[in-house]
Structure 1
Amino acid sequence: MASLNLTSDGNLILFEKGTKVWSTGTSAELNSARFQLLEAGNLPLTADNSNRILWQNFDHARDTFLPGMKLGFDFRTNTSWQLVTWMSAADPSPGRYVSEMEPYSVPDLFMLSAPYDF
């Protein structure tokens, strides 16, 4: 059995059989945090009844790219927004191919294939 818990400090944690298997990794001193699934498919975690986004699934694309998602490089967090394939049609774990942009003097969009260390 799996459960998804939103802690009071703004961290979303997925537990499976009582074991933590994933988390947004967000943690802040908050009075409240909120998750809301938007019509476009984005699931932002916002802080203190504001529009300040702590985490959103649009920054973590896998095999589907929807309007409003980004493919590029976030200089604030020094991370790349990637598009990652599934391992197979039945297995949604990260697959063999990754599309991402690197922040060279002239940005490059490229695709990597396995083996690739996530």
Structure 2
Amino acid sequence: MSDTQLTVTLSGGGIDDARAVVRALEGVFGAPDDLPADERATVRTATFRASAAPEAAPAPSVDAGRLSAPVTVTVQGSPQAVAAASETLTRAFSTREEGAASGDQEQERQLLLVP
């Protein structure tokens, strides 16, 4: 498979919460292009690139740390990438699905992560 991109948009919580979410996804997608860094931002993004179809993290839950506040996460990419990201985040945090949209070759899913 050609390069797969996953775009993650985070709102709510602080910079440490955003970094905890990114750390949870690194086990599946590798390091993002950039870590969320602006402490004053209200919306943060991270982009992951994988050279093969991602698979969800192994069965044990990911220890990404605790969140200090609810975080809304939108993941967008190929169906495989979105499914792997959603499953990984569900294992790492308490989650609630807030919505989903599908296109021809991309999907988008919104999750609410709660402390």
* TM-score, length basis structure 2: 0.25
> Per residue, is there more strand in 1 or in 2?
1
> Per residue, is there more helix in 1 or in 2?
2
Give 1 or 2 for the bigger CA radius of gyration.
1
* TM-score, length basis structure 1: 0.24
